[in-house]
Amino acid sequence: MYQKKMLFTLSAMAAALLLAGCADKLVIASHARLTTLDPVTSTAYVTRSHGYMVYDTLFALDEELRQRPQMVEKWTSSSDLKTWHFQLREGLQWHDGQPVTAEDCVASLQRWGKRDGAGQQLFQNISSISVDDAQRFTIVLKEADVSIIRTLAKVSVNVPFMMPKRLAQADAFSPITEAVGSGPFIYRPERTTADKVVYVRNPNYKPRHDVQSQAAGAKIPGVEVVEWRYYPSQQEAVQKLIGGKVDYVESPSTQLVSLMEGNADITVASTDPLGNVAMARFNHQQAPFNNPGVRRAVLMAMQQDAYMSAALGDARYWRNCYSVFPCGTPLANEAGSEIMKRGDLQAARQALKDAGYDGTPVVVLNPTDTPVMAAFTQVTVELLKELGMTVQVRDMDWATLLEQRERRDSVADGGWSIFHTWWNAVDLSDTSSIAFSGDPQSGWYGWAEDAELEQLRAAAARADGAQKVALAERIQQRLWDIGAFGVLGQFFEPVAFRSDLQGITAPMQFYWGVSRSEE
pLDDT, tens only, 287-303 = 999 999 999 999 999 99
pLDDT band at 493 (very low <50, low <70, confident <90, very high): confident
pTM across the whole model: 0.92
Residue 12 has pLDDT above 80, yes or no: no
Helices (H), 31-142: 45-54, 102-112, 117-124
CB atoms < 10 A from the CB of 74, how many?
Answer: 11
Residue 472 has pLDDT above 80, yes or no: yes
Q: In this predicted model, what pLDDT tens digit does every residue of 297-350 receive, in sequence order?
A: 999 999 999 999 999 998 989 999 999 999 999 999 999 999 999 999 999 999
Rounded CA separation 304/321 (Å)? 8
Mean pLDDT score, 47-71: 97
Closest CA to 427 of 507, 371, 492, 486: 507
Averaged pLDDT score across all residues of the chain? 94
Rg over alpha carbons for the chain, rounded to the nearest Å, is 23
Q: In this predicted model, what pLDDT tens digit does every residue of 112-135 receive, in sequence order?
A: 999 999 999 999 999 999 999 999
Q: What is the pLDDT of residue 9?
A: 30
Q: Mark residue 274 as left, alpha or beta (left: phi above 0; alpha: psi -120 to 50; beta: remaining).
A: alpha
Q: In this predicted model, what pLDDT tens digit does every residue of 240-281 receive, in sequence order?
A: 999 999 999 999 999 999 999 999 999 999 888 899 999 999
Q: What is the pLDDT of residue 392?
A: 98
Q: What percent of the chain has pLDDT over 70?
A: 95
Closest CA to 28 of 269, 227, 260: 227
Residue 480 has pLDDT above 60, yes or no: yes
Q: What is the pLDDT of residue 13?
A: 35
Mean pLDDT score, 471-481: 98
DSSP string, 26-51: EEEEESS------TTT---HHHHHHH
Q: What is the pLDDT of residue 519?
A: 57
CA distances from 380 to 281, 282, 286 (A): 11, 12, 18
Q: In this predicted model, what pLDDT tens digit does every residue of 357-374 receive, in sequence order?
A: 999 999 999 999 999 999
Q: What is the pLDDT of residue 507?
A: 87
Q: How many CA atoms lie within 13 A of 485 on its CB side?
A: 30
Residue 11 has pLDDT above 80, yes or no: no
Q: In this predicted model, what pLDDT tens digit does every residue of 80-112 receive, in sequence order?
A: 999 999 999 999 999 999 999 999 999 999 999
Residue 17 has pLDDT above 50, yes or no: no
pLDDT band at 518 (very low <50, low <70, confident <90, very high): confident
Residue 15 has pLDDT above 60, yes or no: no
Q: In this predicted model, what pLDDT tens digit does every residue of 274-290 receive, in sequence order?
A: 999 999 999 999 999 99
Q: In this predicted model, what pLDDT tens digit does every residue of 374-426 receive, in sequence order?
A: 999 999 999 999 999 999 999 999 999 999 999 999 988 999 999 999 999 99
